[in-house]
Amino acid sequence: MIVLKLGGSVVTDKDRAETLDGAALARAADAIAAALDAGGDALADGLVIVHGGGSFGHHNASEHGVSTTGGTHDAGAVLDIHGAMTTLNRFVLSRLHERDVAAVPVHPFSGGHRDGESELTLPTGQVETLLAEGFVPVLHGDVIAHAGEGVTIVSGDELVAALARDLGADRIGLCSTVPGVLDDEDAVIDRIGSYDDVADVLGESDSTDVTGGMAAKVRALLELEAEASIFGLEDLDGFLAGADPGTTIG
């Protein structure tokens, strides 16, 4: 089973509020549809997709002062951020449906929560059942109930880590705007085994991003047992066909 994250920076124009990058999303959907058509061992147990927010969630969250740790009790703010993410989710689903991918939405806000220590609990029984029934569940970064904080943000990267752990993913891929994690000379780092090895070069996202950019991604992936790859859109076909493009984490 593969867990694939489509970065919000990839499928949206991250610097213009609520704007899709239609060409990039079409390219990603083409790659996913082609890989599912081709079959293969890695996809035999299915594919779970998670997408990030890009310009569809981070601007709203930032405007309302909501982050992964700082929450809100304002129901309007919750609906605003969740609404932006479900709008993007509809776009992603429709591009996949146009290519006959049996994609269905799973909204983390409806099922997950964080406890007082910010620990995430994400039920996965519905994802598992949908996979077994031949669907492609599509989750997204979202708002999430948070004990003591009201509602905070859960990033797509956290969801990828939780799903990969709970469902025992064979392969994990993060498709982003960069060809991998870059070193101080902008060369792709082949493998990262520890956070300290790369802490100096890891930064936030270049655009509005309330969930921590590349540094948070690497941290979340290093906690997993399975190896994960971070790569660019040009390598999505290769990843789905079994290659390990970009940076391998783990």
Ligand X SMILES: C=C(C)CCOP(=O)(O)O
Residue with structure tokens 């880590």?
161
- Give the rounded distance of the alpha carbon of 92 from its chain centre: 13
CB of 33 closer than 8 Å to CB of 118:
no
- Note whether 153 binds ligand X by CB under 6 A: yes
232 is in an annotated binding site: no
- Note whether 21 binds ligand X by CB under 6 A: no
Nearest Cα to Cα of residue 63 among 7, 18, 120? 18
Select from 61, 106, 178, 233 the one that contacts ligand ATP (CB under 6 A). 178
- Residue 247 interaction partner, one of ligand ATP, ligand X, none, beta carbon < 5-8 Å per kind: none
- Note whether 246 binds ligand ATP by CB under 6 A: no
- Residue 4 interaction partner, one of ligand ATP, ligand X, none, beta carbon < 5-8 Å per kind: none
The answer to whether the Cα torsion of 167, 229, 176, 60 is positive or negative is positive
Least separation in angstroms between CB 188 and ligand X = 21
CB of 227 closer than 8 Å to CB of 173:
no
8 is in an annotated binding site: yes
CB of 15 closer than 8 Å to CB of 60:
no
Query: Residue 128 or residue 213: which is nearer to ligand ATP going by CB?
Result: 213
148 is in an annotated binding site: no
Select from 156, 173, 245, 246 the one that contacts ligand X (CB under 6 A). 156
- Note whether 52 binds ligand X by CB under 6 A: yes
Residue with the shortest CB distance to ligand X: 141
Contacts with ligand X: how many residues (CB under 6 A)?
A: 16
Sites for ligand X among residues 189-248 (CB under 6 A)? 210-211
How many CA atoms lie within 13 Å of 75's alpha carbon, on the beta-carbon side?
Answer: 0
**Maximum Cα–Cα distance for the chain, whole Å?**
47
- Note whether 9 binds ligand ATP by CB under 6 A: yes
Q: How far is CA 28 from CA 39, 75, 186, in A?
A: 17, 34, 24
- Note whether 181 binds ligand ATP by CB under 6 A: yes
156 is in an annotated binding site: yes
CB of 2 closer than 8 Å to CB of 42:
yes
* Contacting range for ligand ATP; rule: CB under 6 A; set: 66-74, 81-89, 103-111, 195-203: 195-203
Query: How many Å from the N-terminal Cα to the C-terminal Cα in the chain?
Result: 18
Q: 10 Å Cβ neighbour count for 73?
A: 9
- CA angle at residue 145 from 84 to 221, to 5 degrees? 80
How far apart (Å, rounded) are the C-alpha atoms in residues 242 and 69? 36
Where is the binding site, in residues?
A: 5-9, 53-54, 58, 156, 213, 217
Positions touching ligand X (CB under 6 A) are 8, 52-53, 57-58, 61, 81, 85, 141-142, 153, 155-157, 210-211
Positions touching ligand ATP (CB under 6 A) are 7-10, 52-54, 156, 176-178, 181-182, 201-203, 205-206, 209, 211, 213-214
